[in-house]
Structure 1
């Protein structure tokens, strides 16, 4: 069986920036085992698979280790693929997913995701995070899937050198570390050893959590964001009721064929 595959750098306007995702269009689902093997072979943070479903699409996301409930950058990469290469005729795509209906709207050279906002609760900081990061956060919150750790400043976030084995001891999808930005409203990094990703370059889904926090902290609903991993990525975020709109660009890296 031959399958198309695209690799798109999401949340970047050039290749080698943002977060790379693989996109595999399907006419019908493969077995979970085979999709997991393809994702492991790709060895990217996420591989997205989708099938047509009426006038919508059903999307699923796999890390090299597990299937996940929500992934922003691979959804943006899938929408880019549909708009640019699969000749989707409208400017708004609806995806059915484990996290409900998600939309992506094409706005000139930007793609805007519409995701549910995270539900944040104040939490105690697990000792493994303090030991693994080397410094305690100012505040700690727990969302649906991730912990959110608030740091003093951008330099502190940038300088972190995590012990991934240690922070991976805590049961969660991942850890978002954030602070007020020097040039943007807020910066972040995302560590997910529990999901097979030590550091994710740019994590769209994490911004459903980050936007919930920073909109309240900064008393503004429209925010500029930067994920300061080595690849870096820029995002425009907006809190609209119980939804978060996350916009960014994308750049194609690879179009090919896989044989399974």
Structure 2
């Protein structure tokens, strides 16, 4: 039996929001866990956390991998926020670092320490990939269980990979977006057939005046219907806004189905190596910490 350092941390908490739960397993080095064991832990934690992030040091950087209950995930924004917020706040190495480099499947990303001024960390999203959109408006309306008239035809539906292949769907207002509750299996089959990872719906009508957009994110191919707060999906949304020339400057997003207590995700953009990169940020709250006892199958 293996004893592992474990935390359950909710990302994007604050201002009455409960956040998005992530599991956090620290490994001293590569090989402490096999891929089968990482998948086993994520499956055992199904319904308790959305994804489990595994991290270990590698010289002056950290390596991260992510698993949902069903499969490995290329990039998980909220787990990254949870882990890096904890690492930067609770370790001497982290407290002293204005920036930290992490490696995920998409490559090296920079983490920015804004704990002192914003009580937040910011993660650089992977470089975007603008993909051919595989769906028509009526198809996604049917898959989401909404009427075609509720999709905002003034803006395009687009497929952008900002860490995950994200289908971005504009919705006409706050009431229509809050009442979306798709059939999980139907949406899962639709995402598999059209080869995208998550559906991101958005509107510029918000419940709280300090926020610029309301979003909701559905990732049923990863084993659950809705993500309460999302880094990768909202990063793709930031790239969408830049591509459509409607980026409003640094802003905050309210996410989720709750009208009055949404989760808050912050977005910034900056130029890096001649291209625009999205940074997503927030704070996190540790709920449980201790040892995870793994009995390998």
Fold match (TM-score > 0.5): yes
Task: Tell me the residue number matched to 1:60.
Answer: 65
Task: Tell me the residue number matched to 2:34.
Answer: 31
SS at match of 1:213: helix
Where structure 1 has 5 or more consecutive residues not aligned to the other structure, the ranges are none
Task: Tell me the residue number matched to 2:180.
Answer: 160
Shift of 1:220: 2.6
Whether the aligned pair in 1 keeps the contact of 2:76 and 2:231 (CA below 8 Å) is yes
What does the per-residue CA deviation read over 1:215-256, in whole Å, with 9 as the maximum and x for residues that have no partner?
445343322211123473112212223311112111111111
Where structure 2 has 5 or more consecutive residues not aligned to the other structure, the ranges are none
Whether the aligned pair in 2 keeps the contact of 1:186 and 1:214 (CA below 8 Å) is no
SS at match of 1:143: strand
Structure number with larger C-alpha Rg = 2
Matched residues in 2 for 1:86 and 1:40: separation?
29
The one of 147, 157, 173 aligned to 1:135? 147
Task: Tell me the residue number matched to 2:257.
Answer: 229
Return closer, same or farther for 1:64/1:83 CA change in 2, 3 Å cut-off: same
Return closer, same or farther for 1:148/1:208 CA change in 2, 3 Å cut-off: same
Shift of 1:87: 3.4
The one of 200, 203, 206 aligned to 1:176? 200
Q: How do 1:1-260 residues align onto structure 2 when only pairs under 5 Å count? A: 1-13=2-14, 17-28=18-29, 29=31, 30-43=33-46, 44-88=49-93, 89-107=96-114, 108=116, 109-121=119-131, 123=133, 124-125=135-136, 128-133=139-144, 134-136=146-148, 137=151, 138=153, 139-144=156-161, 145-170=165-190, 171=192, 172-182=196-206, 183=209, 184-215=211-242, 216=244, 218-230=246-258, 232-241=262-271, 242-260=276-294
What does the per-residue CA deviation read over 1:74-97, in whole Å, with 9 as the maximum and x for residues that have no partner?
011111221233433423221111
Return closer, same or farther for 1:69/1:250 CA change in 2, 3 Å cut-off: same
Shift of 1:122: 6.0
Whether the aligned pair in 1 keeps the contact of 2:229 and 2:265 (CA below 8 Å) is no
Between 1:118-127 and 1:80-89, the stretch displaced more is: 118-127
Between 1:180-189 and 1:52-61, the stretch displaced more is: 180-189
State TM-score, norm by structure 2: 0.81
Return closer, same or farther for 1:3/1:154 CA change in 2, 3 Å cut-off: same
Whether the aligned pair in 1 keeps the contact of 2:17 and 2:262 (CA below 8 Å) is no
Extract structure 1 runs of 4+ deviating beyond 6 A: none
Matched residues in 1 for 2:34 and 2:281: separation?
32
Whether the aligned pair in 2 keeps the contact of 1:128 and 1:167 (CA below 8 Å) is no
Number of positions where the alignment pairs a residue of Structure 1 with one of Structure 2 = 260
State TM-score, norm by structure 1: 0.92
SS at match of 2:175: helix
More strand by share: 1
Matched residues in 2 for 1:102 and 1:146: separation?
19
SS at match of 1:169: helix
SS at match of 1:4: strand
